[in-house]
Amino acid sequence: MKKERRILVMLLVLLGMCLSLFAGGKGEEETVDDGVTEIVYWQYFYETKKNLIDELIKEFEAANPDIRVIHQTFPYENYNTKVASSVPTGEGPNVINLYYGWLPMYMDAGYLQPLPEDAFPPEEIEAEYFPLVEAGKFDGKYYALPTAVRSLALFYNKDLFREAGLDPDSPPETMEEALEMAKKLTKTDKAGNYLQEGWGLQLNGQIHHWLREILVRQFGGQPYSDDGRTVTYNSQAGYDALKYATDFQLVHHVGMPNFMTDDVTAFKAGTLAMNIDGSFRLGTLDEIEELDYGVADIPTLNGVASNFASYWANGITSTTTGKELEASVKFLQFLLSDDVQARWLEAIGELPAKKDIALRPEFVNDPKYGPFIRGLENAHATMFVDETGQRQVWLDAWDQVVLNGMSVEDALNQAAETEQAILDRYYEGK
Amino acid sequence: MRKQRTLSRSRELWAYAFLAVPIVFYVVVRFYPSIFAFYLSLTDWDIVSRDKGFVGFENYARLFSDSVFRKTLFNTIRYVVVGLPASMFLGFVLAYNINKLTFGSSLYKTVFFMPYITSMVAVAWVWRWLYQPPPVGVFNNILVAIGLPSQQFLRSIGQAWISILVTTVWADLGFQMIILLAGLKGIPDEYYEAARIDGAGNMQILRKITLPLLKPTAIFLLISGTIRYLRIFTQVMNMTSQGDGGPLNSTKPLVLYIYDTAFKSFEMGYSAAMTVVLFFIILVITLIQMRVTRSEDQ
Amino acid sequence: MKISRMHIVTQAVLLITGLAMLFPFFWMIATSFKTGREVFSLSLIPQNPTMENYQELFTNSNFPLWFLNSVLCGFIVTLSTLFFDSLVGYTFAKYRFRGKKLIFILILSTMMIPTEMLVIPWFIMSNDLGWANTYWGIIFPGMMSGFGTFLMRQFFDSVPNDLIDAGRIDGLNEFDIWRRICMPLVKPALSALAIFTFVGNWNAFLWPLIVINDIYKYTLPVGLSFFNGEFQTEWEMVMTGASVATIPVLIIYLIFQKQIIKGIALTGIKG
């Protein structure tokens, strides 16, 4: 009986603590009108990004003492879920960071407002930025702009090159060379299990982009119609591309998806020799001192160079008005400023979205950033309407060929059909 | 007589008084959102749009031609039909043997219950490691060490769902065991003694006494287990690559498809339609189970 | 003699299976002492065991707050569930009133709707009422459960009516009869419900994610997902967090485990 009473008392104390916390929480929400405009900025949690933005906000607030920016971050995996769920309530941030592939959906919903043209003149944007920012342009107006963009390049492990008797300073320039090297760089045990992969095939990493936007074009095709509404990779070029890539696993045995759980882990552990990946990976890899790696342009095939680019863009939500809107515009201008773009590259590893900053000699000639910046020139940004779903169709096509033994034609036709249905549902009635 | 009536009247009032707050709660927090979901299933709402376009039964019609829906429904039923009996059987074997122990039983109870109380996200990831291909996968290393060919496990259409089910059963076993153990403890010792005096062997006692008397417990486990297995989600989300329920949807359960449709593709209306279907499946199965087990009791 | 040999065999088999069962669990704990680079190595025992992950977790992240939030929300939800579910379960078991069957079935049917479908209406509601981004917002949907109501009704069924009538003759009011006479009789059931509710709440993810905006107000599962980043997952941190997260649940289990066994046996659960 005594013991139970003690437990009960403990519970009551906890309850009391909790109630006082409620009180605390409510007290905080009361805002004092001291002439300071408060705006809320949302992005996903990525440590260096969060730290840089926190730092930038301090500077911004020092320059604009009448504005306070509240910075909230969310787990990356569930960021889109979180943002979308906040929409029906009409509550949420003033300035928001969104993946370019999500923009069409949020546009449809009227979630964003057009960026005021006096603060962000369209002619200037078109002259200064890389053309891929047009993914944020709807009906002739810009709704969201990036501070930085990303492209792909070839990462290769120099130590493994040396070990295989290859020159660590001459990475492959063409796919033919790459394949020959990959064969030399692959190690298996007696039973044929991989001990080391020559070529990374992480479909749900960047390899589905490599297939879609790079290989299909290198075989002379185009993945989508110009307006992005029709799938066109179900063509000979598409079949060739899928055949070419799946042969790496099935015929040449230089790699497989999910080796060592994923490509990044394998590359970090020094068991993957060459991998196509984004500039954002530089930071992660540089943390590992034992890893001696290089970055090179994406190998060409049939004489064609292509690349895939993407970005996270900042926009202003449509519920933002009055003073908050003024403050948000100022903050956004600050985030897009030349200075911030240059600092972003060094702190995060993402490339400046403005051409003349990115093409500064110190960036273009940088051994690690150079290949990415050069890649931007022939980069394409897929016009996603349902990024997850559209990625999945390529994963499934691959699995159909590799696991189910389906022909590349059938697998890709099936993928095209599924993806076309996704596009149709989205564009229906537009 | 009159007093009797006022008495029962006053008790009825007490009953309503007890239920007042809960009824408000259920209406506001459960029924209203559920009805909202039913309503959503008749729209093409995508969460973010302001208006919800009414489309009638279009979403339900789409279900019939959606091969992924059929596949996930099949997967879900496969999880229930294979996984639940396996975990109940193994749970019983454990409980039966632990029950016979003269010492150490509470240690084993705790040991076997641990998986149930451990974060599913974390254990799903550990298991994912164990299933990796060589050189990192523990299971494959064991296979190779004893001279057997390595297996694809989660990368194989045929093995992935079984691999996930093994993890599920592993986590679920403790729950089954604890409740079965409780059921076994509830059987009076006198029954066993009487049987022994009559000269019954161990197997006979098991068949004639233990199993029949465990039936109410088993029914409870069957009904609650069916609901639990029909709602399998977290382990598949965390054990398949980027939670896609692959390869080729071979492991994707209905609830994962519902979640993806709602929160990744943002087709809330379609997702709601699937939820309604799942609700009726669970309802019908539960009612059948209750009906069947009750009629056998009488 | 024969029995004791059987006994030894049983013990041995159980011990080996038990250790095998715990292997993934050991692995989780072992990983929490590994460095990021060693995470993918095969050895169960870390080569260079490190406390860094724990230090990082407790000093450099909001983990202590997430942990506290989870404990608080867990306690309140559990207490509330115990109170209301036993009251409602008791009412259904021991009273006759109009609409009883219908209300009971409706409450039961709430067990069958996946939470995923309810979060959006809850969120709209929370915003209208000013509960978004508060602890109360996390807690309120879990205040009562159909499962608990069902369980408690089954238990109260087996409480003899004579006891209740005796209480009435003694002049106790109906609430006191429930509280002073009937509740002590179903303590084991309450223990079982306590652990099931606490465990279920401890792992809740989607709803806390959606209702909370401030990083320091999140509960553990959402907090741990911050280690699952855009380009890589810090597995050593996830495992460290998950290892620490097991402790409160284990404590709850150890407190209530004996009661659970008694509890479930007492019902003689009716089909």
User: What does the mean pLDDT of chain A come to?
Assistant: 89
- For A:188-247, CB contacts with B below 8 A are 189, 191, 193-195, 204
SS3 A37: strand
Lowest mean pLDDT among A3-17, A187-201, B258-272: A3-17
In a domain, B109, yes or no: yes
Mutation site, C53, C66, C104, C112, interface B, largest B CB count within 10 A: C112
| CATH code linked to domain A151-308+385-427 | 3.40.190.10
B140 in A contact zone (CB under 8 Å): yes
Q: CA torsion sign, C115 to C116 to C120 to C121?
A: negative
Q: Which residues of chain C have pLDDT under 50?
A: 1, 266, 268-271
- For A:375-394, CB contacts with B below 8 A are 386, 388-389, 392
A105 in B contact zone (CB under 8 Å): yes
C137 in B contact zone (CB under 8 Å): no
For residue A124, name the pLDDT band (cuts at 50, 70, 90): very high
In a domain, B98, yes or no: yes
In a domain, B36, yes or no: no
For chains B and C, CB pairs below 8 A equal: 225
> Nearest CB to B149: which of A191, A194, A261?
A191
CB contact under 8 A, B266 and A105: yes
Mean pLDDT of A131-137: 89
CB contact under 8 A, C10 and B11: no
Q: Structure tokens of C73? A: 């929300």
- Give the neighbours of chain C: at least 3 Cβ pairs within 8 Å: A, B
Q: CATH number of the domain at B276, please.
A: 1.10.3720.10
Mean pLDDT of B211-234: 85
CB contact under 8 A, A109 and B265: no
Mutation site, C66, C80, C213, interface A, largest A CB count within 10 A: C213
Higher pLDDT, A18 or C47: C47
Residues of each domain in chain A carrying CATH 3.40.190.10:
37-150+310-380, 151-308+385-427
Residue % of chain B over a pLDDT of 90: 39
For residue A233, name the pLDDT band (cuts at 50, 70, 90): very high
Q: Is the pLDDT of residue A12 over 50?
A: no
What's the structural domain count of chain B? Answer: 1
What are the two backbone dihedrals, phi and then psi, of residue A339, each rounded to the nearest 5 degrees? -60, -45
Lowest mean pLDDT among A102-116, A133-147, A376-390, C37-51: C37-51
For the question of whether the overall pTM of this predicted structure is more than 0.95, the answer is no
B152: left (phi over 0), alpha (psi -120 to 50) or beta: alpha
For residue A30, name the pLDDT band (cuts at 50, 70, 90): very low
CB contact under 8 A, C269 and B125: no
User: Which domain range does residue B253 map to?
Assistant: 66-123+156-297
User: What does the mean pLDDT of chain B come to?
Assistant: 87
Mutation site, A78, A81, A91, A99, interface B, largest B CB count within 10 A: A81
Contacts of B29 in chain C (CB under 8 A): 122, 140-141, 143
Min Cα–Cα distance to chain A from C103, Å: 31
CB contact under 8 A, B121 and C175: no
In a domain, B75, yes or no: yes
Mean pLDDT of B14-24: 92
Domains defined along chain C, listed by start: 55-267 (1.10.3720.10)
> Nearest CB to C110: which of B30, B259, B268?
B30
What's the confidence (pLDDT) of residue C86? 95
- Which own/partner pairs from B235-238 qualify as long-range (CB within 8 Å, at least 24 positions apart)? B235/B120, B235/B124, B235/B164, B235/B167, B235/B168, B235/B171, B236/B164, B237/B124, B238/B120, B238/B121, B238/B124, B238/B125, B238/B128
SS3 A71: strand
- Give the neighbours of chain B: at least 3 Cβ pairs within 8 Å: A, C
For residue A54, name the pLDDT band (cuts at 50, 70, 90): very high
> Nearest CB to B150: which of A108, A109, A191?
A191
ipTM of the complex in this document: 0.86
In a domain, B57, yes or no: no
Q: Is the pLDDT of residue B291 over 90?
A: no
CB contact under 8 A, A88 and B155: no
Min Cα–Cα distance to chain B from A365, Å: 36
C253 in B contact zone (CB under 8 Å): yes
Q: Is the pLDDT of residue A22 over 70?
A: no
> Nearest CB to B144: which of A191, A259, A425?
A191
Q: Is the pLDDT of residue A23 over 60?
A: no
Q: Is the pLDDT of residue A19 over 50?
A: no
In a domain, B86, yes or no: yes
Min Cα–Cα distance to chain A from B248, Å: 6
Lowest mean pLDDT among A225-234, B288-297, C46-55, C235-244: B288-297
CB contact under 8 A, C209 and A22: no
Nearest residue of chain B to residue C266 (CA atoms): B186
A395 in B contact zone (CB under 8 Å): yes
SS3 A226: coil
What's the confidence (pLDDT) of residue A141? 93
What are the two backbone dihedrals, phi and then psi, of residue A207, each rounded to the nearest 5 degrees? -70, -30
CA distance C237 to C31: 9
- What's the first-to-final CA gap in chain B, in angstroms? 35
- For C:153-172, CB contacts with B below 8 A are none
Quick one: which H or E segment has residue A197? strand A194-199
In a domain, B140, yes or no: no
| DSSP 8-class letter at B241 | G
Q: Is the pLDDT of residue A29 over 50?
A: no
What CATH topology corresponds to A37-150+310-380? D-Maltodextrin-Binding Protein; domain 2 (3.40.190)
Contact A207, A201 (CB under 8 A): yes
Contacts of C131 in chain A (CB under 8 A): none
CB contact under 8 A, A81 and C210: yes
